[in-house]
Structure 1
Amino acid sequence: MDVCLQNVGKIWPDGTPVLDSVDLSIASGEGVVLLGANGCGKSTLLRCMLGLESISRGEIRMGEVSLTRARGGELRRLRSRIGSVFQQFNLVNNLSVFQNVLFGRLGNDGLLRSLNLTCSATTRDRAMHCLERVGLAHLAQRRTDHLSGGQQQRVAIARMLMQDARLVFADEPVASLDPRAGREVMDLLFEIVHEHRLTVVCVLHQLELASEYADRLVGLKNGRVVLDGKPSGISPEALAELYVGEDLADDTDAMGGVYAYQ
């Protein structure tokens, strides 16, 4: 699924501008990492693309659908194709790993058909396949709050796989993990993205990881896109400039965990 932003602007209720005339086109299957200092607008931009924040002007399109104008069933169908990977995991801690993965079908099947005791054998088989893909099939019946942080993020990725999303948004997906677990999660996430030819838009602070995993880097400063290109074509000096003299208009925290739109 491709994404197109045209003249997107966002102003907070107190009149503070946070996004200013953002134009951005992301091709289907492309992996884009958003970079910039705290307050540059990158998390707000991601929230706007997810539909969690309204925009003040412009348009956001995903595939053939305008997120800005979609309503009702059209909006629900669009959201069912969008997965999210965030810093926190948004798992139901007192339920099993298996049940949490089944919840990836909530947006398509509804709550009743997403429960372990009422879902079809086909759905249960698919959930186990997703857990096998992230290396956690042997922990299917364990409560998620008994897992490590890296394991919980893998459960959340399995839930996104269960959703069968075509577009994935990620906000600081490894910020709460130690470096080794973080790299393992990034390896897994981008392996799955490439296997399924998904489009991914990711916010990262770690420049080394951004340059290693992204097909394309997009840098924001004061709510505007000031850098856009392949990692190999962007100098360290240009990246460093993103973090010089930045305003703090966007004080948005990282958004949560791997979450399938429901």
Structure 2
Amino acid sequence: MKKNTFFGKVIIVGRTNVGKSTLLNKLIKSNISIISHKKNTTQTHITGVYTSNLTQFELIDSPGLKNNYTNNIEKKKLRDTFNLINEMNIIIFLISGFIWSKEENRLLKYIKKNNNNYIIVINKIDLIDDKKLLLPFILKISKLTSNKEIFLISAKKNIYLKNLLIYIKKKIPISNHAHVNKKKTTCTKQFLVTEIIRETLINLLNKELVYSFTVFITDFYKNIKNKYIILSIIFIKNIRHKKIIIGNKGGKIKKCKIQSQYKIEKLFQKKIYLNIKVKIK
């Protein structure tokens, strides 16, 4: 007798820097989403794929919510997140510490109205020394969320993620798998490379330059020795920013190339050639 297979879609939502990207990477056991201590580093929706025996689900990392949206691009990302919420089998509403403000209330109101299949996940519990302090906060959240499931985890330290995974698996509907078993993401290799370069550079730069550049892949192919050749350009707004990114005697961009190449080789499991140029757009 043929056993049922299970497939569904899960999205992680929440404000900036609550650990959405870390949670996605830990659950699918692959580093496909940017992790940085700087805010707003996830710029688009990134989909990972989790597969274990009969169960498979797409796990979507969404850009973080914030207090105000200053341009049409940011507003579109917010609309995209809200539209995706409507389609999900499970919504992981991720929070950290004791933060619950008007942004969380706004998101919760939308979710309750459009897709009530959500859970609350409180992340970074490893940073809370006195766990008893969580009890009144959990009680407050429980009242706001009509006694929905609340999970305590540390994505970074891999604490209690197993409990969360067990719950998700139970809620995934019967359906055919959409992806082959070894697939970890729906993103293209080119996209993952641009994200790795962007992540590396973000972590090398000052906070104010996070949004001041874009990464573009000009060539991406395998040579006759089956080695990936990757040529990329970092487009920057002005000469001052270009000098900052290149660094003293080219030191910063060289460091970016070395670190990015190491991460890409680790992801692809093979040697690559990477070249990075910096140009003013």
Measured against the shorter chain, the TM-score band is under 0.3
Larger Rg: 2
Q: TM-score scaled by structure 2?
A: 0.26
